[in-house]
Structure 1
Amino acid sequence: MLDLRIGHGYDVHAFTGGDHVMVCGVRIPYSRGVRAHSDGDVGLHALCDALLGAAGMPDIGQLFPDDAPQFSGADSRVLLQQVMNRLAEASLSPIHADITLVAEAPKMKAHVAEMRQVLSGDLGLPRERVNVKATTTERLGALGREEGLAAHAVVLLAPSEGKC
């Protein structure tokens, strides 16, 4: 029997003062930043939760609590690396990742190729196994009013090579 595991993650952050947002490990210049304990990278936070969920592990809020000083301003790529280390210890590896970014602004299209490249490296996957796409809410709700941005992630995990 194949031991494939699927996980879904979601994250949202409100805008606040600043001059950029971090999304999928890419710094995007913008007239605002996000309110967050770490760097507020919604793409990576959703991805971490999807990976952890597929592995049956605690979510990022439990592993990296927002009231823990050591995670204040944390680089989400470092958090992703810690998640990947946990997966390796459990003999699990991602085989596909799909992320949907939801925001009216900033526009993400020009950054998607770089995001895919960053994620491909961080996940140890060929680029064709990492997808990133962006959409809007057609101006509906808080995201439509440009109060913040969000991301959904879906991943597929399998036992690492040599494991059944």
Structure 2
Amino acid sequence: MTCCSSSERVCHVVKDGEDNFMYMYETILLDLGVTLPFDHFTGDVLWMIGVALLQLHPNGWVSLQAFKVVCLALTMIPLALVFLSHYTVRVRKKVDWVSLAPLPNSSLFTAYTASYKGFKSRFVKIKAVNGASFCFDPRPMPLYWRLPLKAQVTHKSQLSLEGKVDLQLLDEFPKG
């Protein structure tokens, strides 16, 4: 992990001959406890919404982390399809940031509406050591800024039996 130069921008991509890297906002690592390599759940969510790590607004990372904590407390394996059954992807037009907005009447948590201040200029560059992966999931994940995928709705029919049971359990909890 290295500090970025003043000329680096989060939308920069790898140059020819350079090893892959990713940018990450410091607040995601320090305040939310996100660690590398990413677990299957986090990698799966990022892969399914098709954006680089930095494009997911910190509030979206809060939702991801909170969902993982709840699942682990309930001895459930966090599943991306179950998570995305409660959230939709929203893209901010000016900067292409992606937010995870709770679907109507299915919000698991009270939305964190306070705005993060100053996070945009505080980011680090992370390089994989000796060809290591950034994620336990073997699928390649988007590392660089890109156009987000269009919002997709998760249908219950897409869930495994375990996912349907977990979704039903989560849906029985009080909302918000």
Structure with more contact order per residue of length (Cα contacts < 8 Å, sep ≥ 6): 2
Superposition TM-score tier, normalisation by shorter sequence: under 0.3
Larger proportion of strand: 1
TM-score for the superposition, normalised by structure 1:
0.27
TM-score for the superposition, normalised by structure 2:
0.26
Larger Rg: 2
